[in-house]
Amino acid sequence: MSDPQPLDPGLATAIESLERTIKANPHKDPTEAQPPAKIIQLPIWPEPVRGAPNPLLRSAFFAAIHSSKRKELGERIKPDQPKKGVTIAAQQGSTITYAGDQLNQYDADVFFEALHRARHHPLESECFFRGYDFLKAIRRQDGPREYEDLENSLTRLRNGSVEIKWKIKDHPLKFVGGLIASYIRDEKTKLFKVTFAKEIRILFAPACWTQLEWKERMALKGKPLAQWLHSFYSSHAAPFPLSTAYLHDKSGNTRHLLKNFHTDLKHALATLETVLGWKATWDGELITIYRPPSASQVSHLRRARRRNKSLPLRPKRMTLTHLSDLFPGLPKPETSD
């Protein structure tokens, strides 16, 4: 009988490694198939809507300003350190700080549409789209200027640094980073590749985001305050009266005098009435918006009503909630006998 042939050195090393693994894990079969990695993905919302995080819709993060009014936000304390973010006006319960080029409603269009296209892909993987299709979806032309605007917006979303803190049922949540992780554009094919970090999924936790009616939003293109009002009120199932000063602050409007903002606000509300059929009534400085709820909001109210039988099946056209009930510290209104 011939002598056994020596093992190949590589095979011998592999066997030794396997033996060490078995000794280190005596109760675990190293050849057993491991469970697949968990796929982290955005919620899958319907095609006619766009998913958007509520803390951003209810703040001046995407300011109601034209692009010519942008500012550079943040302060560099030391040359070798990143900028310190400025506080963005936000609804009570949320805190937002941001450093970077100011974002407006055009950037919101780009961000929401990019999220929409990424929702079918695992986060941290590249989402591909052609510039022509993307620009068409946000109701823009496909000329050189429009491609430049799109790239500039993606760059702002990539480079800006944001910290968002908010709560859901007393549970604190936090997001820190850039809204877009990276993007690439093929200069020849005009194909874009956009990547979102998996951490952005926290912005779409239950009860933290809204389905925006995209056709309605696009009908308001070029009217930043009307778009902001549409986004803000869409994030509330039953809108309540708010003061003009509150809307002025949270919209990021650049008017210094409130009386001048009144003029802008009246024009924006008139646009919402003409284009979408919304109604607004004034009671001194308080404004109440009348609008039909979306299908998703009706569903939300139905679920809430099952938990609390005193709630109406559909939101009332007018709510009597006063600001002092929502924001402690404000004076209660005087009541007559």
Residue 132 has pLDDT above 70, yes or no: yes
Least confident of 122-126, 132-136, 313-317: 313-317
Is residue 301 a part of any domain in this protein? Answer: yes
Q: Is the pLDDT of residue 91 over 80?
A: yes
Mean pLDDT of 163-173: 92
Among 299, 293, 286, residue whose Cα is nearest residue 326: 286
pTM above 0.85, yes or no: no
Kind and range of the H or E element at 298? helix 295-307
In a domain, 38, yes or no: no
Mean of pLDDT values over 330-336? 44
Residue 335: inside a domain: no
- As a whole number, mean pLDDT of residues 313-329 equals 42
**Most confidently modeled of 78-82, 198-202, 320-324?**
198-202
Residue 139 is assigned to a structural domain of this protein:
yes
**Residue 216 domain boundaries:** 49-326
The first and second tokens of residue 205, run together, are 């936790």
Alpha-carbon torsion, ordered 19, 23, 24, 25, to 10 deg: 100
Query: Poorest-confidence range of 55-59, 264-268, 298-302?
Result: 298-302
Long-range pairs, 286-291, Cβ under 8 A, ≥24: 286/241, 286/242, 286/243, 286/323, 287/241, 287/242, 287/243, 287/244, 287/247, 288/239, 288/240, 288/241, 288/318, 288/319, 289/229, 289/233, 289/239, 290/317, 290/318, 291/233, 291/239
Residues 179 and 189 sit within 8 Å (Cβ to Cβ): no
In a domain, 43, yes or no: no
Counting the structural domains of the chain, the total is 1
Percent of the chain with pLDDT over 90: 64
Residue 23 belongs to some domain of the structure: no
In the prediction, which pLDDT does 324 show? 41
**Residue 336 predicted with pLDDT over 50:** no
- The pLDDT, as a whole number, for residue 188 is 82
Does 320 fall in a domain? yes
Residue 41 lies in a domain: no
